Amino acid sequence: MEFKNVANVKFVEGGVCAAKGFRANGIQCGLAHAGASVTKKKNDLALIVADTECTAAAVYTTNKVKGAPILVTKEHLKNGKARAVIVNSVNANTCNADGVEKANMMCELAAKELGISPEDVIVASTGVIGQVLPIEPIANGMKELAEGLTYDGNARALEAIMTTDTRKKEIAVEFEMGGKTCTMGGMLKGSGMIHPNMATTLTFITTDAAISEELVQLALSDVVKITLNRASVDGDTSTNDMVCVMASGSAGNKLVVNEDEDFGKFRNALYAIMMNLARMMARDGEGATKLIECSVSGADSDKTAETVAKSVICSSLFKAAMFGEDANWGRILCAVGYADADFDINKVDVKIGSEKGVIDVCKNGAGVDFSEEKAKEILSEEVIEIIISIGAGPGSAIAWGCDLTYDYVKINGDYRS
């Protein structure tokens, strides 16, 4: 699956290390939880460090159950500044009495090794909920982790944040701002427990652009709404979701402090990163074999369009039909119909498409004749488009989801062991 183009940005290599002055590393410190199969040898602890202090912003899960790292990171980002990210997989450090203490210890351990303040460390965890996080492996591994930091360590860090992910999800772009070339890169972890409700995954984004605390937060809060918050794998909003951005200013552009043209360029680059990460996340949904991109237009507002698009990509029946490559458009219309939004169902048109073409399957709320053979051919592709028009209004939205497969059930039938 290729990146989707966005105007005025150029895709480059390097993920979270693409921007100037960011080092990263990942190691296997040995957090494997009780009963876990040890056949899976993978990194479980990552560190990202900026050479200079960054302005930083984050968006967090809206789940009432919040992982302890979320609480600690919120505190640390109150001043809009950060230097490093410490993150582990395997154990979510959530619903444990000593969670906050452990999350603070992670920051302190990292800070000590890096010679920075613990308040400048962003901490995140992902994995099983409700098992006490053993701090010893992290303490013991910190020196090796810090010593191994390199300006091309993004792949090692990325491996460390993956859980049931099967694909590596990282991206970087170059863009021009104020006459300077800036770079922005990001990596994302996320495969299950993903549902649109503020940032729905762990995502770390780094950039060498110079931008104020207020505006990096504004851009992030804005872009998350139309990217990660429009992707769903299984309707479950995780307790540990977080997306954060660190902007170092090393690119030398004039500091962005207003919602001006440069801000627009920054926001556009962030959109290119996060939209593509959202697509990659949906494509790598647990057990998924297909990315479903549902676009809705003609709505009275973007909000209405979003509600309808999400309703479709969240429908279990529709998702199972996509796995079966079955053009059961009745299920699409059914999901459009139960969306909690106001529109005339008799004006709804539905097309299905992919690289193999696009066909009409429903017009004015009723079925139209189409070639089942052509539909099969279209649905045999990896990226499927569902194109819905619900009227003549100006509102539109795109949402991303995936198919529902045997493997989703297999992966989640016994995740803890």
User: So which residues are the catalytic ones?
Assistant: 200
Q: Which of residues 186-215 bind its own copies (CB under 8 A)?
A: 192-193, 195, 197
In the complex, what is the shortest distance from the CB of residue 363 to its own copies, in angstroms, rounded to a whole number? 10
Q: How far apart are CA 170 and CA 155, in angstroms?
A: 9
In the complex, what is the shortest distance from the CB of residue 64 to its own copies, in angstroms, rounded to a whole number? 4
Does 366 contact its own copies by CB under 8 A? yes
Dihedral (CA of 250, 254, 259, 264) sign:
negative
Does 316 contact its own copies by CB under 8 A? yes
Half-sphere exposure of 123 (CA within 13 A, CB side): 29
In the complex, what is the shortest distance from the CB of residue 357 to its own copies, in angstroms, rounded to a whole number? 20
Q: How far apart are CA 49 and CA 357, in angstroms?
A: 45
- Chain-centroid distance of CA 405 in Å reads 21
- Non-local (6+) Cβ contacts of 128 within 8 A are 33, 90, 91, 92, 415, 416
C-beta closer to its own copies: residue 229 or 239: 239
Q: Which of residues 93-112 bind its own copies (CB under 8 A)?
A: 94-97
Both structure tokens of 231: 């992707």
In the complex, what is the shortest distance from the CB of residue 100 to its own copies, in angstroms, rounded to a whole number? 12
C-beta closer to its own copies: residue 317 or 387: 317
Region of 10-18, 63-71, 152-160, 379-387 interacting with its own copies (CB under 8 A)? 63-71
- Burial group, residue 328, by CB count within 10 angstroms (0-12, 13-18, 19+): middle
In the complex, what is the shortest distance from the CB of residue 114 to its own copies, in angstroms, rounded to a whole number? 31
In the complex, what is the shortest distance from the CB of residue 223 to its own copies, in angstroms, rounded to a whole number? 22
Residue of 324, 357, 380, 394 interacting with its own copies (CB under 8 A): 324
- Non-local (6+) Cβ contacts of 316 within 8 A are 404
Name the nearest CA neighbour of 290 among 405, 180, 207: 405
Q: Where are the alpha helices (DSSP H) in 204-256?
A: 213-225
Residue of 112, 147, 303, 367 interacting with its own copies (CB under 8 A): 367
- Burial group, residue 373, by CB count within 10 angstroms (0-12, 13-18, 19+): exposed
Does 314 contact its own copies by CB under 8 A? yes
227: part of which helix (H) or strand (E)? Answer: none
Residue of 315, 349, 378, 385 interacting with its own copies (CB under 8 A): 315
In the complex, what is the shortest distance from the CB of residue 417 to its own copies, in angstroms, rounded to a whole number? 7
Region of 105-113, 271-279, 295-303, 361-369 interacting with its own copies (CB under 8 A)? 361-369
C-beta closer to its own copies: residue 99 or 137: 99
Does 38 contact its own copies by CB under 8 A? no
- Burial group, residue 3, by CB count within 10 angstroms (0-12, 13-18, 19+): middle
Each residue 325-344 as x (binds its own copies by CB under 8 A) or -, in order, gives xx-xxxx-xxxxxxx---x-
Q: Are 356 and 380 in contact (CB under 8 A)?
A: yes
Q: Which of residues 132-191 bind its own copies (CB under 8 A)?
A: none
Q: How far apart are CA 360 and CA 136, in angstroms?
A: 59
C-beta closer to its own copies: residue 128 or 205: 128
Both structure tokens of 153: 């360590």
Q: Is 225 helix (H, G, I), strand (E, B) or coil?
A: helix
Ramachandran category for residue 286: left, alpha or beta (phi over 0 → left; psi -120 to 50 → alpha): beta
Q: Where are the alpha helices (DSSP H) in 77-174?
A: 99-114, 136-147, 154-161
Residue of 25, 154, 203, 237 interacting with its own copies (CB under 8 A): 237
Does 60 contact its own copies by CB under 8 A? no
Each residue 76-95 as x (binds its own copies by CB under 8 A) or -, in order, gives ----------------x-xx
In the complex, what is the shortest distance from the CB of residue 103 to its own copies, in angstroms, rounded to a whole number? 15
Under the rule (CB under 8 A), what is the footprint of its own copies? 35, 62-66, 92, 94-97, 128-131, 192-193, 195, 197, 234-239, 314-318, 320-321, 323-326, 328-331, 333-339, 343, 345, 362, 365-367, 372, 404-406, 408-417
